[in-house]
């Protein structure tokens, strides 16, 4: 639950990038290697998506217009390693943000 809570906080604070979820888990689990961190980040983000607590978005960097990613595309988006790396300028990134259900969930987890 702690990992999910940490990542959901990121989603409530802003439209966070997938790479930021990995960074958060690396900070919380310094004993994890990069493979463990990536695997755990994907698992937690996927769990939050399945519970309806977050949505995924494509974003034109830096901080451009956001477009919702269709639920049917989520597995391939999460499986793409490049989506978990910090984007460069003018690239497309994948971000996530909390839904109203996610905002309610975080209050109940406090």
Domain boundaries, the chain: 2-109
pLDDT of residue 109: 77
pLDDT of residue 36: 93
Question: What are the tens digits of pLDDT across the range 7-37?
Answer: 999 999 889 999 999 999 999 999 999 999 9
Pick the closest to residue 69 from 92, 89, 90 (CA basis).
92
Token couple for 7: 């990542």
What predicted TM-score, i.e. pTM, was given to this entire model? 0.92
pLDDT of residue 110: 62
């Amino acid at each position: 639950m702690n990992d999910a809570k940490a990542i959901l906080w990121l989603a409530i604070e802003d439209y966070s990038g997938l790479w930021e979820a990995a960074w958060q888990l690396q900070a919380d689990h310094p004993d994890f290697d990069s493979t463990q961190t990536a695997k755990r980040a994907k698992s937690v983000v996927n769990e939050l998506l399945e519970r309806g607590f977050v949505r995924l978005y494509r974003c034109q960097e830096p901080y451009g217009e956001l477009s919702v990613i269709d639920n049917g595309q989520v597995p391939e988006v999460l499986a793409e390693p490049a989506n978990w790396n910090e984007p460069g300028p003018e690239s497309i990134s994948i971000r996530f943000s909390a839904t109203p259900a996610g905002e309610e969930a975080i209050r109940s987890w406090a």
